[in-house]
Amino acid sequence: MATPLTDQEKRKQISIRGIVGVENVAELKKGFNRHLHFTLVKDRNIATPRDYYFALAHTVRDHLVGRWIRTQQFYYEADPKRVYYLSLEFYMGRTLQNTMINLGLQNACDEAIYQLGLDMEDLEEMEEDAGLGNGGLGRLAGVAPLSCYQYYTVEEADDWLRHGNPWEKARPEYMLPVHFYGRVEETKEGSKWVDTQVVLAMPYDTPIPGYMNNTVNTMRLWSARAPNDFNLRDCKRTSSSPGNILAHIVVPCITFVLFLCNPVLQFFEGKELRLKQEYFVVAATLQDIIRRFKTTKKGTAGRTSFESFPDKVAIQLNDTHPAMAIPELMRIFVDIEKLDWDTAWDLTKRTFAYTNHTVLPEALERWPVELLETLLPRHLQIIYQINQNHLDVIAALFPEDMDKLRRMSLIEEDGCKRVNMAHLCIVGSHAVNGVAEIHSNIIKTDVFRDFSELEPEKFQNKTNGITPRRWLLLCNPGLAELIAEVIGEDYVKELSQLEKLNDFVDDAAFIRDVSKVKQDNKLKFAQFLEKEYKVKINPSSIFDVHVKRIHEYKRQVLNCLHIIAMYNRIKKNPNAPFVPRTMIIGGKAAPGYHMAKMIIKLITSVADVVNNDPVVGDKLKVIFLENYRVSLAEKVIPATDLSEQISTAGTEASGTGNMKFMLNGALTIGTMDGANVEMAEEAGEENLFIFGMRVEDVAAMDKKGYDAMVYYNSIPELKQVMDQIKSGFFSPKNPELFKDLTEMLFKYDRVSFQNAVYPNPKEWTKMVIKNIAATGKFSSDRTITEYATEVWGVEPTDLKIPAPNEPREAIEETARALKKM
């Protein structure tokens, strides 16, 4: 079989990645050598591959700096409304290649590195994925990042900063105090939060370039620092905490370990650390926003009135994690800026908007009143006041409906008193949105029905999107170039133009070329798997891929049952026709989520049996992708034939992985859940493999009652699979290993089973083309435009920033701009 082109060879064919010019290449080589010598203090005799990566990263960053400063200078001069996207996750992936593409430098950099005798792909592999997120919520935030904080995972340290980060710039001059604990003192001037413990928030800025437009925005991360008078004797450690690092007030822990959401929060100390993290982000960010709002060139004294605050500031809350921003802004307005309550509340509501990402009750944050009273006593007072005013309105409208008062209260009083953070977000925001049509309908008609009926105009839908620059141009250059050849290059900025591909569905040459690109990607990924996982797979098999966060509702277990069923079919009749299939599953489990860990264990145990059975051979292979991350997604998604999107209908908010697979020519097998519904509408349901219950069917089953034994006793193949798991067939050394998992399946889970199209490559590829042509709706450009016009009240700004002659003009430009900042 022919060896596929390398990504570097493909890039040289793609004009939309930038033009190779002699001057550009010479300038890049000069910058590379300068940074190798003067920034890293190395020469070619002792430099390591990582040194070469850093030299290239600094060289590319040189071409960002002038644009970055010019962008900020324009904002300062024009004083437009600014949008701040608050999230505890920004799943950015690697930065180098994305930056080269967005600046139009990819081809010139490829040529420069080639002339220097180095391999670009080797250098790109040296970059660590930024450990700033876990799943789709963080990936969504990555399309327009503005504020966050330093992040590490808990269980196995994702120490992505151990070698330093060439993309970030520390801003110690903007370090800010964040307060915890203390007490509230009532004075003639109002409430005062006193006797607090102070932690310092250190900002780190990362430039985020737009695609070929010379605009560079900023992602600001926050890192915790101890003040000079910090007393280590105030710290306490607990042996029951992961890694013995959950400190009572050990400052670095606030941003060293992101303590994930339920079901991880198993003990009070863990909850306290998580709440500290959430408040730390919003407290630092809001101080920063207020400072920037007051600092305006219009008038030497700056702004003193907050009347125009919502006209100049829009804050988007990415799920409930930054919800404490609402009482924090109220505290600033009322306690510090001395605004009256009604004015402060009006400004606050007009400033905030809230995106909901889940309908699962256990994922909606609820903080114990006892914890808030200790950690943030003034904020609890403010939340109580917000709730009282809110309930007064409800009582006036529905004077006899005490149950509605209970359902709509911000304070839940059944058992431990808790603050419902989703309710706080809804009450404190002027707009609330879901992230897919089906999800938005569920939150309006079910999860937040009372609130939607009260203020129907507040609730919207904003279907998620993905960026075609990373998820096609960067990760699948062969397909990107093929598309550009037949419909032109403008689709990169306007993804809806992909619908022109419908004209080529029956074009034999185009069908052949699309199929070849896919096979090249599969061969390359097969080589990667053989190298990294020591498993040789059949590149001609169906690459059946299920990659996402490990969770019961995402139903990796259902996929695993199907794998075992296919294994049994092969064992029963080894000579029967069987389309070879490589099952690839990947994702991460929250550290305290026992069932998710057992799902991973089951998958790997099944893989051990299947992959080592000589009867099965290469008909069926099972791979679990360890440490699944953005850079690994960029490898597997272009190689995928079949994308598993099989969550129980009504549980997945949207999904973005489904869109990435669709754009890269994978067909979807899935339920009518999340964005799958809209994908089926765009591509035609006949071009997806849809199975299972609809939302209304699930609701009817819930009402009727679910009995797993009915299915167990009536489907022999399913009974055999469950018996194998229960008996220890896949865990002979510990037959009881999967007892909890099988009990979950018998008591709670909903199961259903499934392709005859793949053996016909022409028909399969026609469906692929129709799917790619239908992905225009799912561009993040469309999503952000809808947020901008319908939620934030901002229009696109034509910055008209000329590209500086980097890096020669950068120093002069920096000097001029700094005088105005």
Query: Active-site residues: which are they?
Result: 357, 548-549, 554, 656, 660
How far is the CA of 434 from the CAs of 206, 420, 697, 728, in angstroms? Answer: 28, 18, 22, 42
Cα separation, 339 vs 345, whole angstroms: 10
Alpha-carbon torsion 543, 548, 551, 555, what sign?
negative
Token duo for residue 722: 């469950």
Three-state SS at 352: strand
Closest by Cα among 553, 565, 635, 633 to 596: 553
For residue 668, list its beta bridge partners.
643
Buried b (16+ CB within 10 A) or exposed e, 42-73: beeeebeeebbbbbbbbbbbbbbbbbbbbbbb
Cα separation, 463 vs 442, whole angstroms: 14
Cα separation, 229 vs 191, whole angstroms: 26
Alpha-carbon torsion 422, 424, 427, 429, what sign?
negative
How many residues appear in the chain? 821
Three-state SS at 449: helix
For residue 204, list its beta bridge partners.
170, 221
Within 10 angstroms of residue 135's Cβ, the number of other Cβ atoms is 22
Closest by Cα among 478, 473, 487 to 519: 478
CA dihedral 368, 373, 375, 379 (to 10 degrees): 100
Three-state SS at 738: coil
Cα separation, 743 vs 749, whole angstroms: 9
- Given a contact cutoff of 8 angstroms between Cβ atoms, the answer to whether 7 and 477 are in contact is yes
Closest by Cα among 562, 526, 774 to 638: 526
- Given a contact cutoff of 8 angstroms between Cβ atoms, the answer to whether 150 and 343 are in contact is no
With vertex at residue 139, the alpha carbon angle to CA 135 and CA 143, rounded to the nearest 5 degrees, is 170
The DSSP secondary-structure symbol of 615 reads T
Peptide bond into 807 cis (omega under 30): yes
Token duo for residue 229: 């008078």
Cα separation, 403 vs 408, whole angstroms: 9
Cα separation, 147 vs 67, whole angstroms: 20
Cα separation, 466 vs 218, whole angstroms: 19
Residues near 497 by Cβ (< 8 Å), separated by ≥ 6? 487, 488, 490, 491, 776
Closest by Cα among 369, 325, 367, 306 to 84: 325
Cα separation, 173 vs 537, whole angstroms: 54
Cα separation, 29 vs 625, whole angstroms: 37
How far is the CA of 720 from the CAs of 390, 560, 572, 741, 753, in angstroms? Answer: 55, 13, 12, 16, 14
Within 10 angstroms of residue 362's Cβ, the number of other Cβ atoms is 10
Closest by Cα among 419, 350, 415 to 381: 419
Cα separation, 526 vs 506, whole angstroms: 29
Residues near 374 by Cβ (< 8 Å), separated by ≥ 6? 181
Token duo for residue 140: 């969504």
For residue 178, list its beta bridge partners.
199
